[in-house]
Structure 1
């Protein structure tokens, strides 16, 4: 008997009346909120508007969920379409089975659609949300703990995962908690991207590429420890080959883009600084240094000059007329006094 181990939950779902509350789904939802929250903060710091990340996530998240499920079903098709299996189970996402490779790929397409609708460069958006995605993966991996799935080889380490029930027919026992290893690795990847982005001012998609490359490194050795059924090519699991290929593509992108487009984007969202609507040039606000009141058209410069000139002219005229009028009145009074004397 193990003296220390990570216990598995007694159940992965709680019922609120007839409504099931599944731990796997909760982990995914919490991860999405964290990714959007952090992505929004980073987007604003880069010069974007608050709320833009959430608006685009409305497109990216559904696409990502569909893509993640498609990748899992395609690469493990025998779980749903072989003899004795029910193909309807392919739609039961709550039972687990989301491939991160498909989620990122199809989620990127959804993000691209959202960015096009707002006139935003996709690479800049990807850089802003990159560490948030890593943290979301770290949270989402705990869904595997609720489902007692995707664990590693048998072990006697103090942090071994105690599996009490297994849907794949394996004997309950103590195994490497690969879900925990990947969760911790993703947290490290998230902080790595944040640090590198501040240190090197990554732009044009390089922060996102760094996240992808760093995640692939960890996924490679974690995948090697897993014992769940998987397709093998030349002795390696399919996901190991996927991680290797994606890692090479990410590193290549970082090197090439650093030479072609160094630095970071100067503008990530039109009108974010001057408060003008999307697509507006903001030319009116530039004329007076951006001090014009919202919705009020600035007065032409000629009109501004005419008012002081007219006032100055009027003051000069009044000043010039005052002595003449006073002198004339004094002379009239003198003449009248002299006439009175003579009379």
Structure 2
């Protein structure tokens, strides 16, 4: 009796293409696509809350470079032995194109940069944080496809039907090049596709955030706190399955500890933040104050007292008063 076995998930034959001397990296394309979609979604959500869409663009200008720097710093710090020590090239720490961005560091430094911007602009940060949270987790899901093209961040060897096949890649000279080379068709290992597990979990968190925000009327930063808790929970279990090199503390990967701590802190913050949603006037007080001033001007211009005062000063009225006083009107 024949047994049908599902084919494993193949890795892409390559992750880099060249247009002349210019390399086109799938990893970068995935990151850029995620950022664009996150921006589009945040613009819609922040505007619906009563915020100024221009603020979203201002935040993107500071958050994107800060996120890249923070992500790279986190990666280099947690995997310092790859860049520093005997036989290592410290300058590779600046080679972002070679792969290696820690999303936890990207979110941390990006958040700090946006916090500083909003503090300078005197705009509440919590409504914006809630608006951007679903976009961030969706962008992370899209970005995980870049790890698939790079054949990185995979799990331990397995024989499950959905195992990921890792190919042996070489460059034009036949040298081993796992990131920039092209597959020879030789399968090095069949492993757990942890990139896919995290991608699917991120999509679940994305849908859950949208549902929870509406169902529980979340606001005051609670959507963002729930995003952090949800992502950290999934990342904790994914880290337990990964087999790539990483530094350990007390037998567990650094990212496992960070995810556990982040989950606990985010959950505490979520429970302590105010309940309910902000009024549109609380999202951006600058816009509200302008609207109030404009409304006061319009009300003053159309009020009965203003109208009677205005009509009392017309030439006909003035002429009538002057005639009654026995004086002659002045012509101009």
CA contact (8 A) 2:209 2:226 kept: yes
Q: CA RMSD in A?
A: 2.5
CA contact (8 A) 2:137 2:203 kept: yes
Partner of 1:324: none
Partner of 2:270: 254
**In the alignment, is residue 184 of structure 1 matched against residue 200 of structure 2?**
yes
Partner of 2:11: 8
The C-alpha deviation readout for 1:40-75, integer Å capped at 9, x for no partner, is 111011111223212211111111110110011011
Shift of 1:206: 0.7
Corresponding residue to 1:265 among 278, 294, 297? 278
Supply the distance in 1 between the matched residues of 2:6 and 2:277 (Cα, whole angstroms). 52
TM-score by length of 2: 0.83
Task: Say which is worse superposed, 186-195 or 47-56, in terms of deviation.
Answer: 47-56
Taking the TM superposition and a 5 Å limit, the aligned residue runs for 1:293-308 are: 298=301, 302-306=305-309, 308=311
Greater relative contact order (Cα 8 A, min sep 6): structure 1 or 2?
2
CA contact (8 A) 1:59 1:113 kept: no
Corresponding residue to 2:222 among 171, 191, 206? 206
Secondary structure in 1 aligned to 2:11? coil
CA contact (8 A) 2:6 2:162 kept: no
Supply the distance in 1 between the matched residues of 2:306 and 2:253 (Cα, whole angstroms). 76
Shift of 1:300: 7.8
Taking the TM superposition and a 5 Å limit, the aligned residue runs for 1:117-266 are: 117-165=120-168, 172-257=188-273, 261-266=274-279
The C-alpha deviation readout for 1:196-249, integer Å capped at 9, x for no partner, is 111112111110000000111111111100001112222221111111101110
The C-alpha deviation readout for 1:158-201, integer Å capped at 9, x for no partner, is 22111003778xx8121111001101111111111111111112
Supply the distance in 1 between the matched residues of 2:64 and 2:233 (Cα, whole angstroms). 24
**In the alignment, is residue 38 of structure 1 matched against residue 41 of structure 2?**
yes
Corresponding residue to 2:85 among 79, 82, 85? 82
Higher strand share: 2
The C-alpha deviation readout for 1:230-270, integer Å capped at 9, x for no partner, is 1222222111111110111001111112xxx3322222113
Secondary structure in 1 aligned to 2:283? coil
Supply the distance in 2 between the matched residues of 1:235 and 1:50 (Cα, whole angstroms). 46
Secondary structure in 2 aligned to 1:146? helix
Supply the distance in 1 between the matched residues of 2:116 and 2:51 (Cα, whole angstroms). 18
TM-score by length of 1: 0.80
Cα 1:307–1:3 shift into 2, 3 Å: closer
Partner of 2:295: 285
Supply the distance in 1 between the matched residues of 2:296 and 2:134 (Cα, whole angstroms). 35
Taking the TM superposition and a 5 Å limit, the aligned residue runs for 1:327-342 are: none
CA contact (8 A) 1:6 1:159 kept: yes
Secondary structure in 2 aligned to 1:172? strand
Secondary structure in 1 aligned to 2:38? helix
Shift of 1:113: 2.3
Partner of 1:114: 117
Shift of 1:282: 3.5
Secondary structure in 2 aligned to 1:164? strand
Task: List alignment gaps of at least 5 residues for structure 2.
Answer: 170-176, 179-186, 321-332
